[in-house]
Copies of this chain bind each other. A is one copy, B any other.
Amino acid sequence: MASKIDTTEEPPILRPFFRKLNRLVQLADEDEQAILSLPARLEEVPSGHDLVREGQEVRECCLLLQGYACRHKSTEEGGRQIVSFHLPGDMLDLQHLLFPVADHNVQAVTAATVAWIPTADLQSIALERPAVGQALWRDTLIDASIFREWVLNVGRRDARSRLAHMLCEFAARRQAAGLGSPEHFTLPMSQEQIGDATGLTAVHVNRMLRSLREEGVIEQKNKAIRIVDWEGLRRIGGFDPTYLHAAA
Give chain A's interface residue range (CB within 8 Å of chain B).
35 or more
- Of A34-42, A98-106, A173-181, the one contacting chain B is A98-106
Task: Kindly list chain B residues whose C-beta atoms are within 8 Å of the C-beta of A243.
Answer: 103-104
Contact A141 B75 (CB under 8 A): no
Identify 11 new A-B residue pairs, CB closer than 8 A, beyond the known A71-B148, A98-B137, A133-B133: A73-B151, A74-B156, A81-B152, A83-B151, A95-B141, A104-B148, A140-B140, A140-B144, A150-B151, A151-B151, A155-B199
Interchain nearest-CB distance for A244 vs B (Å): 9
Contact A83 B140 (CB under 8 A): no
Contact of A238 among B77, B134, B151, B154 (CB under 8 A): B77
- Asked whether any CB of chain B lies closer than 8 Å to the CB of A186, the reply is no
Contact A156 B80 (CB under 8 A): yes
- Asked whether any CB of chain B lies closer than 8 Å to the CB of A11, the reply is no
